[in-house]
Structure 1
Amino acid sequence: MPARTSSPIPSALEQLGSLTDPLTSSDVVDLRCFLILVADPRDARGLRYPALALLCAAVSAVLTVARSLIAIGEWITDAPQHVLGVLGFAVDPLTGLRPVPHAATVRRLLQRVDGDALDAAISAYLQARTLPPIKPEAQEAPVRRVITVDGKVVRGSRGSDGEADRAKPPEC
């Protein structure tokens, strides 16, 4: 039996909306605007799938609780055709379907992509989707905006009730 992870990802979904109000295609398009800044490390010859579509699919899979490279590959394989279209996969002119990449293709791209650039793009996307905090007039110090992606709280942060502050998802 595999060990349970100590840092589950589902709280990232809370940052993006509730399960009853899922991501829309405009949200994915917004994600693409941030991920386009991540450079494609692959050689230009023989590319079948654009890096942007692969990265969007991988990020979408992780945001839907895929916790391994195998799970990401399975999520992409099981994705409906209209979802693949929103993610940026092209239609094959002979079959009229959007072919999906093999899990090894996604794995190789994720191994070679600049992790810091990918982290910065996803962080910027989450920052853009979070409403700025309202600064109370009596408070003089600037208010920091906190985003929790892994369900943890910021160490040492306490509210007026003495409980640890947790970042709240934006109202969409």
Structure 2
Amino acid sequence: MSLVERLRVLPDPRRRRGVRHPFVAVLLVAASAVAAGARSYAAVGQWSANAPQQALARLGARVVGVPGVRVAPGTATIRRIAGLLCPGGLAGLTGADPPAAEPVAVGGKAARGSRQGELPAARLLAAMTGDGRTATQLRVPDKTNEITEPFSSRL
């Protein structure tokens, strides 16, 4: 499947009220910024703000006003949607895998500040490359560890 097809099948995690930007457009703007070299949310937001109208039109950004001006999502919107959708980043959505010869380390941690009342903290399992990039990350049920998770199929 193409990237756009992969993104269209994802459920929008936002509430309907107050939604201004199309879900797929926000993700495509973020992925385009990363492909153009953005390495932080601030850089992604800057790329988004400076993107030409033609690029925003092809990415599906929302139209405002009669002249049909395209408005790109802001840094906060991109960060919020990316965090709701994929805690490990866009790597799982884009199909980006670390090169086969590159070693990958796998480890699990309890997410700090995620405990709510009697509910235990969220446990995350991540795969990282040798240079510190997170290849993918997923939430695992309580009382599991790296050995019992079918993690290798996601790399």
Tell me the TM-score normalised to structure 2 length.
0.57
For the pair 1:31 / 2:25, whether they are aligned, the reply is no
The one of 9, 27, 32 aligned to 1:60: 32
Separation in structure 1 between the aligned mates of residue 92 and residue 37 of structure 2, nearest angstrom: 20
In structure 1, which of residues 80, 84, 92 is the aligned counterpart of residue 64 of structure 2? 92
User: Following the alignment from structure 1 to structure 2, what is the Cα–Cα distance between the partners of residues 36 and 90?
Assistant: 16
SS of 2:2's equivalent in the other structure is: helix
Q: How far 1:68 moved relative to its partner?
A: 0.2
Aligned to 1:78: 50
Q: CA–CA distance in 2 between the matches of 1:85 and 1:70?
A: 22
Q: 1:113 aligns with which of 63, 66, 85?
A: 85
Contact persistence 1:34–1:121 (CA under 8 A): yes
Mean Cα deviation higher: 92-101 or 29-38: 29-38
The residue aligned with 2:19 is: 47
Counterpart-to-counterpart distance in 2, 1:103 and 1:30:
25
- 8 Å contact kept, 1:37–1:121: no
What is the Cα deviation at residue 116 of structure 1?
6.3
Number of equivalences: 103
What are the Cα deviations for residues 62-99 of structure 1, in whole angstroms up to 9, with x where unaligned? 11110000000001111100100111113223342001
Q: CA deviation at 1:119?
A: 4.0
Native 8 Å contact 1:61 1:75 kept in 2: yes
Higher relative contact order (CA 8 A, sep 6+): 1
* Residues 38 and 117 in structure 1, CA contact (< 8 A), matched pair in contact too: no
Q: Which has the higher helix share?
A: 1
TM-score, normalised with respect to structure 1: 0.52
Structure 2: tracts of 5 or more residues without a match: 104-155
Deviations 1:95-118 (A, max 9, x none): 420012221111111121134695
1:118 and 1:102, CA in 2 relative to 1: closer, same or farther beyond 3 A? closer
Q: Distance in 2 between matches of 1:79 and 1:153?
A: 35
Q: Structure 1 residues 111 and 117 mapped into 2: Cα distance closer, same or farther (>3 Å)?
A: closer
User: What's the CA shift for 1:47?
Assistant: 0.6
1:154: which partner in 2?
102
Identity %: 35
The structure with more radius of gyration? 1
Tell me if structure 2 keeps the 8 A contact 1:39–1:114.
no
